[in-house]
């Protein structure tokens, strides 16, 4: 039997909700629990990573605000419910429950920009089992992506020092992921993005001038540069490596004058070329012209360019793919639930290699003279020592978001958290986490 195709525009309308950004088994679990009565049991789920990917020294929390938006938008439309029923995913009784679904529980977590380490309780969701379990996939898809990108971006920003990094990876990833990647990179220290969607949605500064195609469509490099300067002014950045870099730099200064804003290098030995171009610009009197480099940069390439006369970096492929670690390896696990007598009991997974710790956690960062020395995770504990900074904050109470904050606060928090880390956290080589996770 051939099922009728959705009406025109149906897919677009369904995208305004996050309810189907989930896995089939979330709803089949829900159906069984609704039938046996356990769906209403009070439950606590935690999001954490058992380890940091790729021998990283620390991770960066990003995507929290997007998670909260997804929870608020977790609604099933009539068309979606009809599809679930007609496709046999769940029965009508489950669809009736989902028709009225509204998350009414509590969420606590690490705020955006904060660092995390193995077993940090990055997010805690407390609600009925039914309310909380269906959020697993969408929460993990956001946090695993955004934390991975932010963690890579932070390493790149540290390697860049005071030189700005521009996010330029839109064409190297899924179109929706490109927008969230730009946001995550901005949280972790990047100064701007080429992605206009991210600029429009999140207020991130956008940058961009021209590609090689712009030069090639003109009859000469000089004509291309003259056109760009006429449109954007002498302060623009000209791409000078379409043909010959030395000739391109000379032409750029001849066209724009010594007030030329910048030149961009996108190929070749960037260290050698940057030094040669800097000498040429200075000899031509363009001493204030900046040099921006692009071309498949990662944190290691950026670090190698530290001694080169470079003024900024454009980073694409390696950023939006997490620089070798495209996921933060986070999991969403049930750690406590109500029993048949209404008493909360701790639960934990015990399978080999994937063990956890039952019970609701709190977390704090222990400091010595302002430097982080441990991530302290406690079960069933409130408060802490005088030398500890609490990490979790209230995010949702009874289904309502608590005091949402903007990206600038997340960026500031990231700078503060980086400043607390010990010096070994700045190493780019694979190694152990910068601070240990201890049970308080």
Per residue in 34-56, pLDDT (tens digit) is: 999 999 999 999 999 999 988 89
**Cβ distance 352 to 116 under 8 Å?**
no
175 forms beta bridges with none
Helix (H, G, I), strand (E, B) or coil at 302: helix
Domains of the chain in start order, with CATH, are 10-134+329-421 (3.20.140.10), 150-324 (3.20.20.70)
Pairing of β 123-128 and β 42-49: antiparallel
pLDDT given for residue 9 in this prediction: 40
pLDDT given for residue 351 in this prediction: 75
**Cβ distance 391 to 114 under 8 Å?**
yes
**Cβ distance 30 to 102 under 8 Å?**
no
* Cα 28 to Cα 24: distance, rounded to the nearest angstrom: 7
For residue 108, CA distances in Å to 22, 60, 257, 404, 408 come to: 21, 17, 56, 13, 21
171 forms beta bridges with none
pLDDT given for residue 1 in this prediction: 35
Q: What is the pLDDT of residues 341-369, one digit of tens each?
A: 999 999 998 877 676 789 999 999 999 99
Q: Which residues of the chain have pLDDT under 50?
A: 1-14
For residue 24, CA distances in Å to 44, 88, 96 come to: 21, 11, 17
Question: Which residues, 6 or more positions from 17, have their beta carbon under 8 angstroms from its beta carbon?
Answer: 73, 74, 75, 76, 77, 80
Which has the closest alpha carbon to 291: 329, 319, 260, 337? 260
pLDDT given for residue 15 in this prediction: 52
E strand spans, 198-329: 237-239, 262-265, 290-293, 312-315
* Cα 386 to Cα 72: distance, rounded to the nearest angstrom: 36
Rounded to two decimals, the pTM is: 0.93
pLDDT given for residue 14 in this prediction: 43
């Amino acid at each position: 039997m051939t099922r009728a195709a959705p009406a025109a525009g149906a897919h677009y309308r369904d995208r305004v909700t996050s309810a189907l950004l989930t896995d089939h088994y979330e709803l089949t679990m829900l159906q069984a629990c609704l039938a046996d009565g356990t769906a209403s049991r009070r439950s606590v789920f935690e999001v954490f990573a058992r380890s940091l990917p790729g021998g990283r020294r620390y991770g960066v929390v990003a995507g929290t605000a997007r998670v909260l938006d997804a929870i608020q938008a977790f609604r099933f439309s009539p068309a979606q419910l009809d599809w679930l029923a007609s496709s046999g995913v769940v029965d009508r009784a489950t669809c009736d429950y989902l028709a009225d679904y509204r998350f009414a529980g509590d969420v606590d977590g690490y705020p955006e920009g904060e660092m995390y380490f193995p077993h940090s309780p990055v997010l805690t969701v407390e609600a009925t089992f039914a309310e909380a379990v269906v959020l697993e996939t969408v929460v993990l898809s956001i946090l695993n992506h955004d934390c991975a990108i932010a963690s890579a971006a932070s390493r790149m920003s540290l390697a860049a020092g005071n030189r700005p990094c521009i996010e330029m990876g839109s064409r190297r990833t899924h179109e929706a992921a490109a927008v969230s990647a730009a946001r995550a990179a901005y949280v972790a220290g990047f100064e701007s993005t080429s992605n206009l969607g991210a600029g429009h949605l999140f207020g991130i500064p956008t940058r961009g001038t021209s590609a090689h195609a712009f030069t090639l469509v003109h009859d000469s490099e000089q004509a291309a540069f003259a056109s760009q300067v006429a449109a954007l002014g002498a302060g623009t950045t000209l791409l000078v490596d379409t043909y010959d870099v030395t000739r391109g730099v000379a032409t750029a200064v001849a066209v724009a004058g010594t007030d030329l804003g910048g030149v961009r290098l996108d190929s070749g030995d960037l260290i050698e070329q940057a030094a040669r171009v800097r000498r040429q610009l200075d000899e031509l009197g363009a001493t204030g012209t900046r040099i921006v480099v692009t071309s498949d940069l990662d944190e290691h390439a950026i670090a190698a360019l530290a001694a080169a006369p470079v003024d900024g970096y454009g980073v694409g492929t390696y950023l939006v793919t997490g620089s070798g670690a495209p996921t933060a390896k986070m999991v969403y696990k049930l750690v406590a639930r109500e029993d048949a007598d209404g008493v909360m009991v701790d639960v934990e997974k015990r399978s080999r290699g994937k063990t956890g710790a039952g019970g609701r956690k709190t977390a704090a960062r222990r400091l010595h003279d302002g430097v982080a020395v441990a991530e302290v995770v406690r079960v069933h504990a409130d408060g802490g020592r005088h030398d500890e900074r609490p990490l979790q904050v209230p995010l949702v109470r009874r289904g309502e978001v608590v005091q949402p904050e903007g990206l600038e606060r997340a960026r500031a928090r990231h700078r503060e958290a980086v400043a607390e880390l010990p010096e070994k956290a700045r190493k780019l080589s694979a190694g152990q986490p910068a601070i240990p996770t201890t049970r308080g």
